[in-house]
Amino acid sequence: MSIRTKNIEAYMKSYAKKLVALLKKKILEPRQDREENSSIYSTGKSYESLGVIDRTGGIIEIVGEDYLLKVDKGGVKRVSEEKLADWILAKPLNYRDISGRQGEPITERAAAKSLAKVMKRSINQFGTRPTPFIREAMDEQLKDLKLVAPVVEDVKESVEDILREAGFNLKGKTIKFV
């Protein structure tokens, strides 16, 4: 006995696409829990990595760079000075010096590498604060998850096959759902 799950699969694929769209929106919007209300978006690489993959057998995956989970959860990480320097140049990053004066945006690679070295030491030692944008998106989307209707549709569409497999003769008979 088997139930075809085409309605469930179509619903979950649509749901996954909506979740990815919401994640991308959360990456772009300014956040109050980050410095100067900046967004998570910088180079666009992580943003572009988000997507939905429809695997065979009804498996639907939401994929993206591992980095996004690190941003979401925060914590101590091992980071590369080169990647930090790229991020500093792409952001563009404003900083304050030790006396609190606002610095100029960093536009030269040498300055970016110098700051990246200091940032790497701090991130390796103290980590980063969490920016729970994935959890927020999941909580928002979870309230819209309504899986009962597609399940009922798939059962309705499969009931004749199930009854035939169980040995029932359905010739000329109508199955009515109430």
DSSP-assigned letters across all residues of 38-102: --S-SSSHHHHH-EEEE-TTS-EEEE--HHHHHHHH-B-----HHHHHHHHHHTTPP-B-TTSPB
How many domains does the structure of the chain reveal? 2
Residues 68 and 96 in one domain: no
Quick check: is 178 in a domain? no
Residues 53 and 84 in one domain: no
C-alpha distance from residue 52 to each of 48, 61, 63, 134, 151 (Å): 12, 6, 6, 15, 21
For position 178, what pLDDT does the model report? 54
For position 164, what pLDDT does the model report? 73
Main-chain dihedrals φ then ψ at residue 89, nearest 5 degrees: -70, -30
For position 148, what pLDDT does the model report? 81
For position 36, what pLDDT does the model report? 64
Residue 153 DSSP one-character state: H
CA distance 76 to 45: 22
For position 77, what pLDDT does the model report? 77
Residues 1 and 69 in one domain: yes
For position 82, what pLDDT does the model report? 93
Quick check: is 42 in a domain? yes
Residues 82 and 108 in one domain: yes
- Contacts of residue 154, defined as CB under 8 A and 6 or more positions apart, other chains included, come to 3, 4, 5, 6, 7, 8
For position 32, what pLDDT does the model report? 83
For position 176, what pLDDT does the model report? 61
- Contacts of residue 72, defined as CB under 8 A and 6 or more positions apart, other chains included, come to 130, 131, 132, 133, 134, 135
Residues 98 and 161 in one domain: no
Quick check: is 9 in a domain? yes
For position 19, what pLDDT does the model report? 94
For position 64, what pLDDT does the model report? 94
Containing structural domain, residue 68:
1-74+130-166
- pLDDT single digits (tens) 133-162: 999 999 988 888 887 888 888 877 777 777
For position 53, what pLDDT does the model report? 93
Residues 65 and 95 in one domain: no
Residues 17 and 82 in one domain: no
Residues 39 and 111 in one domain: no
Quick check: is 175 in a domain? no
Please list the ranges in the chain whose pLDDT falls under 50. none
For position 102, what pLDDT does the model report? 78
For position 55, what pLDDT does the model report? 86
CA distance 168 to 82: 68
